[in-house]
Chain A
Amino acid sequence: MNTQGKVFKYPDNVDTDVIIPARYLNTPDAKELALHCMEDIDTEFVKKVQTGDVMVAGWNFGCGSSREHAPLVIKTCGTGCVIAKSFARIFYRNAINIGLPIFECEEAAEEINADDEVKVDFDTGVITDITTGKTYKAQPFPEFIQNIIRCGGLLKSLKEGENNV
């Protein structure tokens, strides 16, 4: 599996309140919520994002609230994956559980520019910046987490009896 698309670049400490402001959380409907993805720091994101595009951010992406709505709206918008220097732990867990591909790669997150065309191979963790021609290698997930991703999320892995650490 892989994704290819244009880069939306964000700074350190992007919190779940700006990914999806709580004022909209009176509904669990992902499609409705996705209309407001990133709106408090980037009103253009929802208008511009295309299926397969890639978010690139700094340290501690997704800090703050435990709302699973945050990775869910990023995924629902069509974002192919998120690359960051690091992820806040609940966001990291939630992204895996709902099947939003995420990659920790400090070098890629530092060097890749906004609007670059980027390709990410989910199986190998290889990130290619097609615009600059540079490649990067993200940290691979532990086997147990790869299993959850392969099954299509935590609940499916539980149903299939694949949830053995």
Chain B
Amino acid sequence: MGMTMTQKILAAHAGLDSVTAGQLINAKLDIVLGNDITTPVAVNEFKKAGFEKVFDKDRVAIVLDHFVPNKDIKAAEQSKTCRDFACSHCVSHFYDVGKMGIEHALLPEQGVVTAGDCIIGADSHTCTYGALGAFSTGVGSTDMAAGMATGMAWFKVPSAIKFNLTGTLPKNCSGKDVILTIIGMIGVDGALYKSMEFTGEGAHSLSMDDRLCICNMAIEAGAKNGIFPVDDVTMVYLNGRSERKPVVYEADGDAEYEKTIDIDLSKIVPTVACPHLPENTHPANELGHIKVDQVVIGSCTNGRMEDMEAAYSILRGKKIADGIRCIIIPGTMQILRECVERGWYTAFIDAGAVVSTPTCGPCLGGYMGILAAGERCIATTNRNFVGRMGHVDSEVYLASPHTAAASALTGYITEYKEV
């Protein structure tokens, strides 16, 4: 029996000719990642267990992104723990303020992760790198500690759901609308323990930023990983960027899938996930008059260049509606710099938005845009759970950068229609 793309990568990293769904394996890791919230716990476990060295200083990545620049004294202590550990173990991929970005925007951009990799990260959105044709999954801090010490992790080989994509996206839609539509269709545990393998001619029509966004939210359907086949779009993205040579794996023709779901991209509409689950999706134009207090455009889901471009194309020369707080957060320093160079930063300010340095900040209710009781935000982030962005009585609506920017101009949830 053939293997899925994910199974092929796992088999190769476990040194096995083949694996089957449900099999327990020990796999070699190419990158082990942590952030300023999960790394301190991992460092503590690493030390407690008596490990003295990381398995490879070039294969550990530590990114300070959740609460930096440090939001308070305790956050500063956590950053310091990460910094001291990275320094004492000569971790080459350590990203501090000035160099940092939101981890899942940063690592692909910097070429730290590449096609064919087997990656674990102590952050649930580590599944993002499947867009590059890698196996990549989120774990906890103890797994991170074990991964840093041994360069290995145990996995239960996942079965898979195949998403056969056809057609091309309408101009007012992006990868975010695709993944929200899918989560609405299969639910927040619709892919629990499984791989989501995206394939078909429609998959090849999607940009790398769209693919990164789609794989990023695979975890929101409960998936172990999301993955795209490697094609010209992937190779153009990786070329000159990837630190290591990309390795291309393809699903076997006779690979077994639990089911196949057909998605016609041309039928996708601007989609919004209403509180308090990402599966609670509705077409933006069917929501009625939902007033918002805040708009957030950024995060590991939608803080990339195409997301900034969508925001710019809608906000330039316009004014954000009275009483609306619009916060734009480019995902990395390189993206921020590009926004400055292209004059987008100025356009955002002129429209009445604020622009922050990269941070996860508001997405997880950390800082930089916390909601009061009764307040409502439309955000390009990934979760709308109870209290996610602040007070337990606040609400988060998840949407694409197009929908979020259009809503910033009107003050209520608005479908973007190209003019």
Contact = CB atoms under 8 A, between A and B. Distances in A.
Specify whether A and B are partners.
yes
Contacts of B383: 15, 17, 64-65
Contacts of A154: 142-143, 146
B138 A59 contact: no
A144 B154 contact: yes
Interface in A35-71: 40-41, 59-60, 63-69, 71
Nearest to A158: B146
Given A26-B67, A41-B386, A66-B38, A60 B189 contact: yes
B141 A68 contact: yes
A130 interface: no
A114 interface: no
Interface string B125-147: 01000000000001111110110
A27 B77 CA distance: 8
**Interface-centre pick from A21, A25, A165 (highest chain B CB count, 10 A):** A25
Interface string A149-164: 0000111101100011
A7 B203 CA distance: 47
Interface in B139-196: 139-143, 145-146, 149-150, 154, 188-189, 192-193
B49 A17 contact: no
Contacts, number: 141
A13 interface: yes
A4 interface: no
Contacts of B189: 13, 59-60, 63, 86, 88
B24 A17 contact: no
A98 B146 CA distance: 12
Nearest to B223: A89
A93 B139 CA distance: 7
B310 interface: no
Contact of A17 (B37, B50, B141, B385): B385
B44 A28 contact: yes
A89 B78 contact: no
Contact of B41 (A15, A68, A86): A68
B386 A90 contact: no
B277 interface: yes
Contact of A13 (B139, B145, B277): B277
Contacts of B146: 97, 154-155, 158
B290 to A, nearest CB: 22
A18 B365 CA distance: 12
Given A18-B387, A22-B365, A155-B45, A28 B78 contact: yes
B222 interface: yes
B318 interface: no
B123 interface: yes
Contacts of A13: 188-189, 277
A66 B123 contact: yes
Contacts of A86: 189, 192
Contacts of B267: none
A17 B154 contact: no
A37 B364 CA distance: 17
B78 to A, nearest CB: 6
B37 to A, nearest CB: 5
B193 A25 contact: no
Contacts of B316: none
B385 A15 contact: yes
B204 interface: no
A155 B229 CA distance: 34
Contacts of B41: 28, 68-69, 72
Contact of B222 (A60, A66, A153, A158): A60
Given A18-B386, A64-B124, A97 B40 contact: no
7 interchain residue pairs of minimum CB distance: A68-B140, A94-B140, A26-B74, A155-B49, A97-B142, A60-B189, A22-B364
Given A59-B189, A66-B122, A88-B189, 11 more contacts: A22-B37, A23-B365, A60-B222, A63-B188, A66-B138, A68-B122, A86-B189, A93-B140, A94-B143, A158-B146, A159-B50
